[in-house]
Amino acid sequence: MASTGDGMTKYEEIRERVKSNMKESRFIHSEGVAEMASYLSKRFLDDSESGRVAGIFHDYCRYMGNDELLSFCSSLNDIVPEEREKPMLLHGAAAGLVFRKLYPEYGNEYYLAMRHHTLGSIDMGVLGACVYIADYAEKGRKHITDKDREEILSEKTLEAMVLNILGREKKYRESLNENMAGVSKALMEYLEKGGVFTI
Ligand SMILES: [Fe+2]
Ligand SMILES: [Fe+2]
């Protein structure tokens, strides 16, 4: 693990930054996501560190306001209608942009993973799938039961896990009489046809 020179590992430095930027409950969730994303990246990328790093930072900008998020993300050319309507959904994109600026030594897959963690995307990559699943199913999440969590994690591939979550999300949206976001729907159709995450 890389050290920053003052005895802290790079991960510890990033974790401290995240901790000082949010209230405790959000930080506990971020640690839960880091832990599960790390488990998944170990299992599917043979690398426990990338999931941990992307997971701890994914909600870094959760407290930005709507106007701030829209102006902060104004350089992006892939903002979807749902994000324009509910700019809060851009907190992942903002986190990705901040992360890329602060830690340019990490590759674009970290940006993509954070950017797409809210709605999911065909372009979120393997690391993005790890963060997306962990954000939905980390151990502190109370919107699913332990049995649901086990069922999601027992799927054999990341694609099957994401598809499982999207199926639940679809049912949930239907119960509210709402539609799924277009990017989430496109991802679901892609995975149903056997599409895989490639980055
Ligand atoms: Fe989030
Ligand atoms: Fe989150």
How many angstroms separate the alpha carbon of residue 58 from the centre of ligand 1? 6
Domain contains 44: yes
How many angstroms separate the alpha carbon of residue 4 from the centre of ligand 2? 26
Q: Angle at which helices 158-175 and 182-192 pack, to 10 degrees? A: 130
Domain contains 155: yes
The answer to whether the CB of 41 falls within 8 A of the CB of 125 is no
- Answer whether 0.75 is exceeded by the pTM: yes
Q: Angle at which helices 125-137 and 48-57 pack, to 10 degrees? A: 60
Asked if the model's pLDDT at residue 16 lies above 80, the reply is: yes
DSSP state of 78: -
Domain contains 74: yes
The CATH number that applies at residue 105 is 1.10.3210.10
- With bands split at pLDDT 50, 70 and 90, how would you rate the model's confidence at 4? low
pLDDT of amino acid 51: 98
How many angstroms separate the alpha carbon of residue 56 from the centre of ligand 2? 9
Strand ranges (E), the chain: none
Angle at 153 between CA 17 and CA 130, to 5 degrees: 35
Domain count, the chain: 1
Taking the C-alpha atoms of residue 91 and residue 118, their distance in angstroms, rounded to an integer, is 8
How many angstroms separate the alpha carbon of residue 24 from the centre of ligand 1? 15
120's torsion region: left (phi>0), alpha (psi -120 to 50) or beta?
left
Give the range of the structural domain holding residue 54, as residue numbers without chain letter.
Answer: 10-192
* CB under 5 Å of ion ligand 2: residues: 59, 135
Interval 80-120: pLDDT, tens: 999 999 999 999 999 999 999 999 999 999 999 999 999 99
The answer to whether the CB of 188 falls within 8 A of the CB of 163 is yes
How many angstroms separate the alpha carbon of residue 110 from the centre of ligand 2? 15
pLDDT of amino acid 2: 56
Domain contains 81: yes
- With bands split at pLDDT 50, 70 and 90, how would you rate the model's confidence at 3? low
Unique residue bearing structure tokens 């674009």:
108
Number of H helices, E strands in the chain: 11, 0
The answer to whether the CB of 90 falls within 8 A of the CB of 116 is no
How many angstroms separate the alpha carbon of residue 161 from the centre of ligand 2? 17
Domain contains 62: yes
Task: Tell me which ligand sits closest to the C-alpha of residue 136.
Answer: 2
